[in-house]
Amino acid sequence: MNYKALAASFLTVMTLNTFAGAVEPPVAKKIPYRLEKHGQVRVDDYYWLKDRKNPEVLAYLKAENAYADAALKPLEPLQQKLFAEMKARVKQDDSTVPFRYGGYYYYKTYKTGGEYPVYARKKGSLDAKEEVLLDVNELAKGKTFCQVNFPAIRPDHRMIAYAMDTGGRRFYDIYFKDLVTGKMYGDKIEKTSGNMAWANDNRTLFYVRQDTGTLRWDRVQAHELGRLRDAEVYFEPDETFEVGLSKANTDKYIFIRTGATLSTEYRLIDADNPAAPPAVFQARLPGLEYDVADGGDRFYVLNNDKARNFKLSVCPSTSTAISSWKELVPRRDDVLIEYMDVFSDWVVLKERSKAQGSFHVINRTVGRDSYITFDEPAYMADLGDNYEYKTSALRVTYESLTTPDSVYDVDLWTGNKKLMKRQEVLGGFKQENYQAGRLWFPARDGELVPVDIVYRKGLDLKSGKNPVYLYSYGSYGYSTDPYFSSSRLSLLDRGFICAIPHIRGGSEMGRRWYEDGRQLKKKNTFYDFIDATRYLIAQGYTSPAHIYAEGGSAGGLLMGAIANMAPELYKGIIADVPFVDVATTMLDPDIPLTTGEYDEWGNPGVKEYYDYILSYSPYDNVEKKAYPSMFITTGLNDSQVQYWEPAKWAAKLRALKTDKNLLILKTDMDTGHGGKSGRFEAMKLSALEYAFMLHLEGIDR
């Protein structure tokens, strides 16, 4: 097949005024395809792009890539400069703070020039000799993509199991390494999810497989070292549920969590008796969500039984049904309990109130309560690596829009924080040069919505001409916390204000915030983002000629929606791996992630949900009108949002838009949802997207 000739057939000439030079954007052919539901017929001219085996599909994607390279070629000097800046801020020979687990200190380190981590440990003391567990740089040689997470340590610490994905579609092969001899064990488990846990017999590894078509994590299997056939421990037949594995801090149990968006069920495996069948903790009930932690003689249960924002209950280890759950921390309307961790003397709850996180610490012996908080107006804090059950030191991570990633050890008796490490940012970074703050604005329905902003001090905030970069996600209840980014400094140092609107669909303001941004209230997510943009304009921070927006995955859906609803507000939009063909995808149960998503988006098999989804689905609402300049990315191997969604969207936009603004579709032919796997390779796309915005802003330095 002559792909160059085939790709050339997609090209038509169009001179672009925004970027220098006349280049030829590809135009996908139209093959009308009828989609009928609830008596309504939609015609999809680009449905044919779903067929990845069709050589014309690959040719079209390659033609789009060729066009992107040609159209963006004038940006190469700026992209290279930005990449050099971003890379220069990274301390290349760096390590994480070691965490203690079973007499060893484990950590990962990066070597100068290395794209991938080296996983290592020291025995007994930080002064001991380093023992390398895995050098991912060696594993990645000759591969365009390589993802290896921290290995699963066998309980006797004499072997590891590690999972490696070399295709980007999140299928992991599991390998075993003998840490005594340094040799690879002969066993290999292919095409798993990478989620795994060791039993205490030092022979049995539990792991999760996914369906090869829908990619749903649907079964747990047990691999016994040296045996050819693996036993199936549990299969989840309900296509709206997925399974996952974890191990208790006490090491007594392996938990099988089966969850849908709004329902949960746990099964327990005795880690000392891995052949025993798993026992149901509490059978699933509609609307009941719960998580379980072992506390030795009792279980702690985080649950939403008559508690929208969740409450903490406790039950005996011998009686785990909901009828035995006794309330320990009651529900609160203004406080969301996000998750918990349990230790021999302590229970720690991650809580959130008014878009701010904190840690609620409960002493299990005397019942004393205390809180771990931080002083900045907006920040991101989470529990770190806490593997020791018997401890009074809690590891937490902390960062903000101006404070680099920091690791603290907190004395749970006194509350004293000890800073163990703060990410070193090279290149002359000074935290005091930047200012962050939190604003509140009224959305169109009167709801007060927070938005965090950061900028370089000395900026005239009321000039009305400041370039502004907005980023949000707004789905699945995931909160977009104000995180630190050394790459973001390249925008701040060029006069940008960066903002994170905490839109509905996340959980920043509690569970209600999530519920008001899903299913038949999904448009609140889009309205909040648009209203945040208008607020910044009204307050004099900026104007539409200087506003840029970015979102990825479900945040890419957000980008598609605002592009249709309020294109006049944005100079440029970046949509990374965007979920934009919502109606068609949610009607196809064979596409990954569809059946488990009904509680998030609604089941379009029901006409009410179908009509609502269709009213905002970005692909279905593209019109003949002017759109901002747009930069769209996807990965051919994407397991979450299939490549054809952004490809179809770009093709339809190109056919209908009335402007001459730049439209870029860039497909990574080697990766999936997360993009490049190397730490520096991933920066190249960020540098290109930043160059895209800066060039539109007239900043080429």
pLDDT per residue as tens digits for the range 105-132:
999 999 999 999 999 999 999 999 999 9
- At 546-598, the pLDDT tens digits run 999 999 999 999 999 999 999 999 999 999 999 999 999 999 987 776 778 89
Q: Mark which of 315, 332, 349 sits at the end of a domain.
A: 332
Instruction: Report the CATH number that the domain containing residue 49 is assigned in CATH.
Output: 3.40.50.1820
Give the pairing of strands 184-192 and 172-178: antiparallel
161 within domain boundaries: yes
Q: What is the mean pLDDT of residues 36-52?
A: 96
Tokens of 109: 């380190």
What's the whole-model pTM score? Answer: 0.94
382 within domain boundaries: no
393 within domain boundaries: no
Instruction: Report the CATH number that the domain containing residue 266 is assigned in CATH.
Output: 2.130.10.120
Task: Clarify whether residues 84 and 131 are in a common domain.
Answer: no
372 within domain boundaries: no
Residue 204, beta-bridge partner list = 224
Active-site position among 406, 638, 668, 677: 638
Q: Is the pLDDT of residue 347 over 80?
A: yes
Task: Clarify whether residues 2 and 150 are in a common domain.
Answer: no
Task: Clarify whether residues 484 and 573 are in a common domain.
Answer: no
Task: Clarify whether residues 198 and 280 are in a common domain.
Answer: yes
The three-class DSSP label of residue 420 is strand
Q: Is 673 designated active site?
A: yes
Sign, CA dihedral 478-484-487-488, equals positive
At residue 679, φ and ψ (nearest 5 deg) are: -65, -35
Active-site position among 360, 502, 673, 695: 673
Q: Is the pLDDT of residue 8 over 70?
A: no
Q: Mark which of 279, 303, 332 sits at the end of a domain.
A: 332
Name the average pLDDT for the chain.
Answer: 94
Tokens of 410: 């907190």
- At 318-345, the pLDDT tens digits run 999 999 999 999 999 999 999 999 999 9
The count of structural domains within the chain is 3
Task: Clarify whether residues 488 and 444 are in a common domain.
Answer: yes
Tokens of 21: 């030079």
Q: Is the pLDDT of residue 185 over 60?
A: yes
Task: Clarify whether residues 159 and 84 are in a common domain.
Answer: no
Task: Clarify whether residues 166 and 201 are in a common domain.
Answer: yes
Task: Clarify whether residues 138 and 254 are in a common domain.
Answer: yes
The span from the CA of 537 to the CA of 569, in Å, is: 9
Task: Clarify whether residues 133 and 184 are in a common domain.
Answer: yes
Closest CA to 673 of 576, 586, 588, 585: 576
Active-site position among 479, 487, 553, 629: 553
- pLDDT bracket for residue 13 (50, 70, 90): very low
Task: Clarify whether residues 31 and 145 are in a common domain.
Answer: no
Q: Is 638 designated active site?
A: yes
Task: Clarify whether residues 110 and 257 are in a common domain.
Answer: yes
395 within domain boundaries: no
Task: Clarify whether residues 491 and 581 are in a common domain.
Answer: no
List the domain range (segments joined by +) for residue 122.
97-332
